[in-house]
């Protein structure tokens, strides 16, 4: 069995290669429709956070929830890819894993919508 080269790297060499793998992951995620939609929304929402938020804590919460949605979407896609790697046939545990990943995305989206709604209501509409 071949050992992963990354496991043998240390220091800045390991960090440099890990960054490359992360960029490859983001490039791969771009081909996922849900991630692409969230990334496009973030292009508008992150700058808007600086207008909606009244202090650095509010801006951080607004930006953080947008980024959290993208992080959870990446994790969900990773779960789905790993399940699909095992095999295409239907299995109750595979469905359960995929459903839980999807539920995590849903809860994160609801959190994001709630934080943004509260900030807009409090800082702009009232």
Q: Where are the domains of the chain?
A: 1-31, 32-125
Is 0.95 topped by the overall pTM? no
Encode pLDDT of 20-53 as tens digits.
999 999 999 999 999 999 999 999 999 999 999 9
Q: How far apart are CA 109 and CA 38, in angstroms?
A: 10
Of the candidate CATH numbers 1.10.150.120, 1.10.287.3610, 1.20.1070.10, 3.80.10.10, the domain formed by 32-125 belongs to 1.10.287.3610
Q: How far apart are CA 59 and CA 50, in angstroms?
A: 6
Among 8-17, 18-27, 42-51, 97-106, the least confident range: 8-17
The 3-class SS string of the chain reads CCCCHHHHCCHHHHHHHHHHHHHHHHHHHCCCHHHHHHHHHHHHHHHHHHHHCCCHHHHHHHHHHHHHHHHHHHHHHHHHHHHHHHCCCCCHHHHHHHHHHHHHHHHHHHHHHHHHHHHHHHHHHC
The pLDDT assigned to 11 comes to 85
Position of tokens 């509010």?
A: 58
- The residues that are catalytic are 73
Tell me what the pLDDT averaged over the chain comes to: 94
């Amino acid at each position: 069995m071949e050992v992963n080269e990354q496991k043998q790297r240390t220091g800045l060499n390991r960090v440099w290669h890990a960054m490359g793998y992360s960029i490859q992951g983001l490039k791969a995620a771009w081909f996922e429709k849900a991630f692409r939609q969230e990334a496009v929304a973030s292009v508008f929402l992150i700058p808007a956070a600086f207008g909606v938020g009244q202090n650095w804590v509010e801006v951080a919460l607004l930006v953080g929830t947008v980024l959290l949605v993208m992080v959870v979407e990446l994790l969900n896609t990773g779960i789905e890819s790993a399940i699909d790697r095992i095999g295409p046939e239907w299995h109750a545990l595979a469905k359960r894993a995929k459903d839980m990943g999807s539920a995590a995305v849903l809860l994160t989206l609801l959190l994001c919508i709630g934080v943004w709604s509260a900030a807009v209501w409090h800082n702009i509409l009232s």
